[in-house]
Structure 1
């Protein structure tokens, strides 16, 4: 009889307290979800405001072609890495050492050397330039080896135009060589400002060094 009463009281307590526990758990979950949504909305608005604050003033027309070539190069390199053990095993069955070296050299060239050379050529190409009018800073975007966007913030004082431009190099921003074209700027004034054409020109052709004997 006492056991029956205890079971009844336990069942009644479950019936009474279970809805309360469910309400507390659901209310806590709702508060957590609401706080998460508020934080996500806050950061989304912040990032959106930062993006709207920037003005795109330059776009490299060769960006899609460079991305396509790099995708093909990386995919062919991955395929070459996967197929290299099979090629070496099949070449080893022939028994010719010179043929094995030649096959490994060709496969290694297209697997490793080609993506590196392609990256060396295209790493200076600027795909986009954004301008922040509030801070007067520019943000240049390039593509790294793994097709990820790499951004560089600089001001006009950080730009150095070499007297003799190197291969695929128009300017150096914070010591990083970059390649841009004047005709692809939406406003040519920005190109002139970046390259320093708005500054007074120095017509000094050189300094003549005179020795003490020549002064006398």
Structure 2
């Protein structure tokens, strides 16, 4: 019912980042051996810390930015279960199964559009749904809306307490 358009780009960027990090880790002993001849221990330690910082920070930062991006989503109408897939740090797909009743819409955030099972934030673009009926069910548009305003003075008093 849903196909993420950035899936290929996310996989390519994460794969490139992991590959360069692995290559950099493999080259550390060679650089250490060549660097050891010309420099003091303090300079060598600073360079090694700087290299390791970027070697490990880049894939982790990319994962932090993309871990919530839903690459695809399926809906089983027989048991009312949605299955969303995301990509983990090592480019493996991770599945998240949930029902429409376990979906909540959080406060607006740049990296989260829904929270499933009260703990898993996901980034879903509503324009990428292929099945509009399933999208309406996903966003709970089939439920009735309570338009009753309530008493404004009571609401203000509750906030002030």
Instruction: Name 1:140's counterpart in structure 2.
Output: 84
Q: TM-score, normalised by structure 1?
A: 0.65
Secondary structure of the 1:209 match is helix
For the residues of structure 2 that align with 1:188 and 1:99, how far apart are their CA atoms?
Answer: 60
| CA deviation after TM superposition for structure 1 residue 102, in Å | 3.8
Two-structure CA RMSD over aligned residues (Å) = 1.9
Contact 1:81–1:111 (Cα < 8 Å) also in 2: yes
Q: Report Cα offsets for 1:134-184 as digits up to 9, x if no partner.
A: 11111000111111111111111111111x233310000111000010111
Q: CA deviation at 1:94?
A: 1.7
Which of 90, 96, 100 is the equivalent residue of 2:44? 100
Aligned residues: 153
The structure whose residues are more often helix, as a share, is 1
Structure having the higher Rg:
1
Alignment map for 1:108-119 (pairs within 5 Å): 108-119=52-63
**Unpaired runs of at least 5, structure 2:** none
Q: Does 1:173 align with 2:116?
A: yes
TM-score by length of 2: 0.85
Q: Displacement of 1:97 after TM fit?
A: 4.1
Relative contact order, CA 8 A, sep 6+: which one is greater? 2
Distance 1:189 1:102 in 2: 57
